[in-house]
Structure 1
Amino acid sequence: MSKYDIIYKDLVEDIIENGIWDKDQLVRTKWADGSPAYTKSIISKQIKFDNHEVPILTTKRVAWKTAIHELLWFYVKRTSDVSYLQENNVKIWEEWTRTDGTIGKAYGYQLGKPIPKPQGVTNQVDNLIYELNNNPASRRHVISLWNIDDLHEMSLYPCVWHNQWLVKESKLHLIVGVRSNDVALGQPFNVFQYYVLQRMIAQVSGYEMGTLTFNINDAHVYERHIEPLQEQIRREPYKAPELWVNPEIKNFDEFTIDDFKLINYKHHDKVPMEVAI
């Protein structure tokens, strides 16, 4: 039985039973019909994985290739131009794509933004790998997607807004900071993606896998997602699959979708849910 399915079930039940409604507020998000998309939230929630198995849900099908495509777009392509997604038939950013074919100065733009360092002009991803290799004991291995100067030019403020990496006993640990987490649709993507990213960074920097921790400031369930989620978490989980990552890749920027295979992924059917915009 998948450990993530158990963690996820507990989280969903906690939010539905104990969460705080925002119906007393004017909310930004809306449904396609224009009505307010209200949520129930838990404030400040932490979930942690020992990484002994792949954290992907089995109580529903998670579009794992789409999740990796988005990850590659952010961290390898390091751009906000959606042409990579379009070329790979990934539609998850269509609602936020601007007329210029980008999502503004969000996510990949921040990761690819040039930064001057003593070793030359670099970017946040290359700098992270350089520092992990050359200064592993540092507690400054941080990537930030929250640039206050560029927020007004982003189609969507970053939900997963920073991550920190720690090396302890030759193991690479990852802590992911999430300001706002749509538990029904966003979180299953986020958890799997950052596990994959941790595998990628660990491989090219030569570390063993440590723990993966998510610190979620606002963990919420949308009102129209409650019934589908209740149906989902009643399903019996399957055993977690295995993820093959091409061991020949030693340069982070050489990763492509063909370097990943999810093996023996047994899952229940997809659970249809509306997207709040």
Structure 2
Amino acid sequence: MLTGEQGYLDLSKYILKNGTKKHDRTNTGTYSVFGHQMRFDLSEGFPLLTTKKIPFRLIVSELLWFIKGDTNIQYLLQNNNNIWNEWAFKNWVDSDDYEGPDMTDFGIRSQQDYEFNLLYQEQMNIFKENILNDHVFAEKFGDLGNVYGKQWRDWKTSQNETIDQLKDVIDLIRNNPDSRRHIVSAWNPEDVPNMALPPCHTLFQFYVADGKLSCQLYQRSADMFIGVPFNIASYALLTHIIAHECGLEAGEFVHTLGDAHIYTNHVEQVKTQLGRQTRPFPALKINREKESIFDFELSDFELIGYNPHPSIKAPIAV
């Protein structure tokens, strides 16, 4: 059984050794395996990886963005969170409105060509300034389509009604904790073509036993080096705050992966990480005066005792 941070490292090592070389949407290439699971006991600390530094503030602001039902990166940029920039930026540079230098395959070219990277950074800074300061521009190019927050909070039905899945699942946990229907889905087949990136973490289910709330996530596509550490911490945090609202303790986070992969341009970074020793997970401190998940702000969360190894930089495949 893969458990804790060592389980994450063991799976990464397994993928490097046994993964199938595959082509992918980004034309980067991956080493891939299918169908694995990791488990994290949330009573043993908050599962923020220690073999490389993971920016907790970015995880919190992204999760709050999902919870708000927001799909525009303006909120993220206002909180100095740049993790979704590339997908919105692509919308702009692929549009008829864009008049700058050619940005084709900017994700790969910016890593390989110093001169191009300078042009790319210049255009990205222009883009970010426009998102932050031009409301019309932000509405047109900052929105990522009906991604996670939209599906969690405002799922549109065939009857033109909407379902607030997150609110409904909290109510169900409170009123019928033994139900087997504590499920939130981000995968809406009708909306997938209109999303900047179809949901990678597609469905999650809660489970109540012995006064504890556990969560299992099914993730169809799992970028082990960059994405998965964020996903682990994000859903662990979601479990903690929903448990808090429902008067429960946090139990386990169970992470089930479909296509678990390492990008070919992340191999050396993964090997560096595998050469490091794990350290104890930090503790999570939550502002207990907030009663509702929908009232939390960035300042309501604090890590105690986080002592990671240095961060390891790697390119994002867009």
Query: Fold match, TM over 0.5?
Result: yes
Taking only aligned residues, the RMSD between alpha carbons, in angstroms, comes to 1.6
Residues 66-90 of structure 1: CA deviation (Å, up to 9, x unaligned) = 0111011002x11102221011111
Task: Report deviation, 1:236.
Answer: 2.0
Write the letter of the residue equivalent to 1:59.
Answer: T
Write the letter of the residue equivalent to 1:87.
Answer: Q
Write the letter of the residue equivalent to 1:66.
Answer: L
Question: Could you say which residue in structure 1 is the equivalent of 2:286?
Answer: 245
The separation in 2 between residues aligned to 1:139 and 1:4, in whole angstroms, is: 26
Question: Could you say which residue in structure 1 is the equivalent of 2:171?
Answer: 130
The separation in 2 between residues aligned to 1:84 and 1:65, in whole angstroms, is: 14
SS in 2 for 1:91: coil
1:72-91 alignment runs, 5 A limit = 72-75=64-67, 77-91=68-82
- The structure where helix makes up a greater share of residues is 2
Asked which structure has the greater CA Rg, the reply is 2
Residues paired across the two proteins, number: 262
2:69 aligned with 1:28, yes or no? Answer: no
| Alignment equivalent of 2:53, drawn from 61, 68, 77 | 61
Length-normalised TM-score, structure 1 = 0.91
Question: Could you say which residue in structure 1 is the equivalent of 2:180?
Answer: 139
Write the letter of the residue equivalent to 1:53.
Answer: G
Contact 1:4 1:56 in 2 (8 A): no
Question: Could you say which residue in structure 1 is the equivalent of 2:13?
Answer: 13
Question: Could you say which residue in structure 2 is the equivalent of 1:220?
Answer: 261
SS in 1 for 2:216: strand
SS in 2 for 1:133: helix
Task: Report deviation, 1:173.
Answer: 1.4
Length-normalised TM-score, structure 2 = 0.79
Distance 1:94 1:115, change over 3 A: closer
Unaligned runs of 5+ in 1: 30-35
Distance 1:186 1:263, change over 3 A: same
The separation in 2 between residues aligned to 1:231 and 1:84, in whole angstroms, is: 34
2:249 aligned with 1:208, yes or no? Answer: yes
Unaligned runs of 5+ in 2: 93-139
Task: Report deviation, 1:170.
Answer: 2.1
SS in 1 for 2:257: strand
Task: Report deviation, 1:233.
Answer: 1.4
State the percentage of identical aligned residues: 35
The separation in 2 between residues aligned to 1:263 and 1:54, in whole angstroms, is: 10
| Alignment equivalent of 2:216, drawn from 175, 188, 192 | 175
